[in-house]
């Protein structure tokens, strides 16, 4: 099928509710079912399908930091039937992996940033620091004696920690784990002193007194932790939030790009979707394709410096 025919066919599918039901739009997710990216994709899919007048399904293809799903979308036809719900690793992987089977910019059409998700620096209650300023002083007094649990090497939470160490000028030892759950359990048990954790994973544990919140990674304080300072209050300019965004393959026609992006942004703005995103500790965004594209470019540049500092290698 010629490119012109693909574009005409896909435009017709998205414009016709009855015909569109014969072909489903797939949102590929490069993470396991039940995780943050999967939850956001499924939250968005129902409302997006209603607005587009067609079935939207979520398909999980975890592995290689999201690269397996991303490669599948990069190779898909630009017909609007295959989309990608990606996350911060889309930008991190550009420098983390020595070679990728796709270009994270040229091989994709940015549609919209769905949400951002700041994290919180937590410590076991036995750590003799009540805030970030005291933690930095402690780390400088005991270089290499404090440990930081990492749920996945090369993840946004891993690099949030290395960005912190880079800006604070401290040496804290990274302890890698295969997943967030075992990492946070070892911090609760006191096997490891520190961790950068997603709000949804840490909030209940902090309220129960099993973990101590030292600082949040957002530029300003969060409603979930109003008494916990932003790390930026001690390290000006520090900010680290995971983000989740919707992409299509490259060469998606402008009218198709706009239609899908507009529907996704309308879905994100809907009360039900906003409520669900916020309950997961996320901040709804919904920006334009142009804004999202510039953001991805800036994130690739930004995280390349931290990846180099960290010396991280893909697992």
Give start-end residues of each CATH 3.40.190.10 domain in the chain. Answer: 118-233
| pLDDT bucket at 179, cuts 50 / 70 / 90 | confident
Q: Is residue 148 predicted with pLDDT exceeding 50?
A: yes
Which pLDDT does position 279 carry in this prediction?
Answer: 83
Kindly state the helix (H) or strand (E) to which residue 245 belongs, with its residue range: strand 241-249
In terms of CATH architecture, what is 118-233? 3-Layer(aba) Sandwich (3.40)
- Position 94 pLDDT exceeds 70: yes
Please give the Cα distance from 293 to 161 (Å, whole number): 26
Q: Find the mean pLDDT for residues 82-110.
A: 96
Residue 242 CA to residue 106 CA, distance in Å, equals: 22
User: Where are the CATH 3.40.190.150 domain residues in the chain?
Assistant: 3-117+242-310
pLDDT at position 201 is: 85
What digits encode the pLDDT tens for the residues 207-247?
999 999 999 999 999 888 899 999 999 999 999 999 999 99
> In this predicted structure, what is the pLDDT of residue 153?
87
User: Is the per-residue pLDDT at 98 higher than 80?
Assistant: yes
Q: Which class is domain 3-117+242-310?
A: alpha beta
Q: What are phi and psi of 52, to 5 degrees?
A: -85, -15
The angle formed by the CA atoms of residues 28, 33 and 34, to the nearest 5 degrees, is: 130
Mean pLDDT estimate for the chain: 91
Mean predicted confidence (pLDDT) in 11-34: 70
- Spell 204-241 as b/e; 16+ CB within 10 A means b: ebbeeebbbbbbbbbeebbebbeebbbbbbbbeebbbb
Buried-state track 261-271, b at ≥16 Cβ within 10 A, e below 16: bbbbbebbebe
3-state secondary structure of 62: coil
Q: What is the pTM of this model?
A: 0.87
Looking at the predicted structure, is the pLDDT value of residue 313 above 90? no
Q: How confident is the model at residue 19 (pLDDT cuts 50, 70, 90)?
A: very low
Mean pLDDT of 306-315: 87
Containing 118, the helix (H) or strand (E) segment is strand 108-123
Q: Which helix (H) or strand (E) holds 25?
A: strand 25-29
């Amino acid at each position: 099928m010629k490119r012109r025919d693909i574009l005409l066919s896909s435009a017709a599918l998205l414009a016709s509710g009855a015909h569109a039901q014969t072909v489903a739009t797939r949102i590929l997710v490069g993470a396991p079912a039940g995780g943050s990216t999967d939850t956001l994709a499924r939250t968005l899919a129902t409302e997006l399908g209603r607005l587009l007048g067609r079935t939207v399904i979520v398909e999980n293809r975890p592995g290689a930091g999201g690269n397996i799903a991303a490669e599948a979308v990069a190779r898909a036809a630009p017909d609007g039937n295959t989309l990608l719900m990606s996350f911060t690793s889309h930008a991190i992987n550009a420098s983390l992996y020595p070679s990728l089977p796709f270009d994270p910019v040229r091989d994709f059409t940015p549609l919209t940033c769905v949400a951002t998700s700041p994290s919180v620096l937590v410590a076991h209650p036995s750590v003799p620091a009540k805030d970030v300023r005291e933690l930095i002083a402690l780390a400088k007094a005991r270089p290499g004696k404090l440990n930081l649990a990492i749920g996945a090497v090369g993840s946004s939470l891993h690099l949030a920690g290395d960005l912190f160490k880079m800006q604070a000028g401290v040496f804290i030892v990274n302890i890698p784990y295969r997943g967030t759950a075992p990492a946070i359990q070892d911090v609760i048990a006191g096997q490891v002193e520190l961790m950068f954790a997603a709000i949804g994973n840490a909030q209940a544990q902090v309220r129960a007194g099993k973990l101590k919140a030292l600082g949040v990674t957002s530029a300003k304080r969060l409603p979930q932790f109003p008494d916990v300072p932003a790390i930026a209050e001690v390290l000006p300019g520090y900010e680290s939030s995971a983000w989740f965004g919707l992409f299509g393959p490259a060469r998606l026609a402008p009218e198709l790009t706009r239609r899908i992006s507009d529907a996704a942004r309308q879905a994100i703005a809907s009360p039900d979707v906003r409520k669900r995103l916020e309950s997961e500790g996320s901040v709804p965004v919904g920006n334009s394709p142009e804004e999202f594209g510039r953001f991805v470019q800036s994130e690739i540049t930004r995280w390349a410096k931290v990846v180099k500092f960290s010396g991280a290698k893909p697992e």
